[in-house]
């Protein structure tokens, strides 16, 4: 009988969604994993996660995306939420200035609890509400550059840039991981060690026949 084993992937990447309550984290997640949107979604309580498997540069990558409440009182234990996360989508609402001002707070939380190499993307959600805009994309871009984050405006409602946002995070993670794997492979096989020129010093006294000379 042919059936697909769930473990059929090359990489499993944990990505966390963070940002203030009501910015649209849960809808971004449901749009990406189930292509669903809900206008009257309730605040998340505790932690939820959903997965989606996709192809990145010929590899099967399973993205496990975690979602929790932006509101402090509903939040699950922070350290467990961030443990093992290799990516983060930090969401604010382009129509609510306060949610953008709090981005620094979320970055601090990431710095305190997540791995220092975590890939972070800033997402200004609800781009469909341009007439109610309170944060310009230029302002957000400046902050993103200052903090070394990628940046996109998204709309979970219109399904705009949601796919792109996750793709960018996952590709960045994949590049970091594959670079690390390559470095480890090279170190193991000795390829990474600087190669020297072999010179013949046969006339030197003693038992030296050949010596390797490292040029760098
Ligand atoms: N217009 C518009 N509304 C959106 C968009 N994304 C989410 N919303 C709405 O914003 C509200 C909050 O969305 P949620 O996804 O529940 O927000 P959340 O960030 O998960 O909130 P917490 O779970 O409380 O942290 C809901 O009414 C959604 O329908 C969007 O792209 N455009
Ligand atoms: Mg939610």
Phi and psi, residue 73, nearest 5°: -70, -15
Closest ligand 1 atom, residue 44 Cα = 23
CA triplet 26, 109, 118: central angle to 5 degrees? 80
38 Cα–ligand 1 center, Å: 8
For position 208, what pLDDT does the model report? 33
Fold of 2-176: Rossmann fold (3.40.50)
For position 74, what pLDDT does the model report? 73
27 CB under 6 A from ligand 1? yes
User: Is the CB of residue 143 less than 8 Å from the CB of residue 122?
Assistant: yes
Closest ligand 1 atom, residue 91 Cα = 19
CA 158 to chain centre: 23
Give the start-to-end residue ranges of the domains of the chain: 2-176
157 CB under 6 A from ligand 1? yes
User: Is the CB of residue 146 less than 8 Å from the CB of residue 116?
Assistant: no
10 Cα–ligand 2 center, Å: 29
Q: What is the reported pTM? A: 0.86
155 CB under 6 A from ligand 1? yes
**Residue with the nearest Cα to atom 13 of ligand 1?**
24
> Which is nearest to 91 in space by CA: 17, 142, 146?
17
User: Is the CB of residue 6 less than 8 Å from the CB of residue 79?
Assistant: no
Tens-binned pLDDT, residue by residue, of the chain (216 aa): 445 455 689 999 999 999 999 999 999 999 999 999 999 999 999 999 999 999 999 999 999 999 999 987 777 678 899 999 999 999 999 999 999 999 999 999 999 999 999 999 999 999 999 999 999 999 999 999 999 999 999 999 999 999 999 999 999 999 999 888 888 888 888 765 555 554 444 433 333 333 333 333
71 CB under 6 A from ligand 1? yes
For position 150, what pLDDT does the model report? 97
- Give, for ligand 1, the residue of 41, 67, 132, 158 to mutate: max count of ligand atoms closer than 8 Å to Cβ: 41
User: Is the CB of residue 11 less than 8 Å from the CB of residue 27?
Assistant: no
Cα–Cα distance, 162 to 69 (Å, whole number): 19
């Amino acid at each position: 009988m042919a059936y697909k084993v769930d473990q059929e992937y090359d990489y499993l990447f944990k990505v966390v969604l963070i940002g203030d309550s009501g910015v649209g984290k849960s809808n971004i997640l449901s749009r990406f994993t189930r292509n669903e949107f809900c206008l009257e979604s309730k605040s998340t309580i505790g932690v939820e996660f959903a997965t989606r498997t996709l192809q990145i540069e010929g590899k099967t990558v399973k993205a496990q995306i975690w979602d929790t409440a932006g509101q402090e009182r509903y939040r699950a234990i922070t350290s467990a939420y961030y443990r093992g996360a290799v990516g983060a989508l930090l969401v604010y609402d382009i129509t609510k200035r306060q949610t953008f001002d709090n981005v620094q707070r979320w970055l601090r939380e990431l710095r305190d609890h997540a791995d220092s190499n975590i890939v972070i993307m800033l997402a200004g959600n609800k781009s469909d509400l341009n007439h109610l805009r309170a944060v310009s994309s230029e302002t957000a871009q400046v902050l993103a550059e200052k903090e070394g984050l990628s940046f996109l405006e998204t709309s979970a409602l219109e399904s705009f840039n949601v796919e792109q946002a996750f793709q960018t995070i996952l590709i960045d993670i994949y590049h970091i991981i594959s670079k690390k794997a390559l470095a480890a492979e090279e170190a193991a096989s000795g390829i990474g060690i600087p190669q020297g020129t072999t010179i013949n010093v046969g006339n030197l006294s003693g038992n030296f026949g050949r010596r390797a000379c490292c040029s760098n």
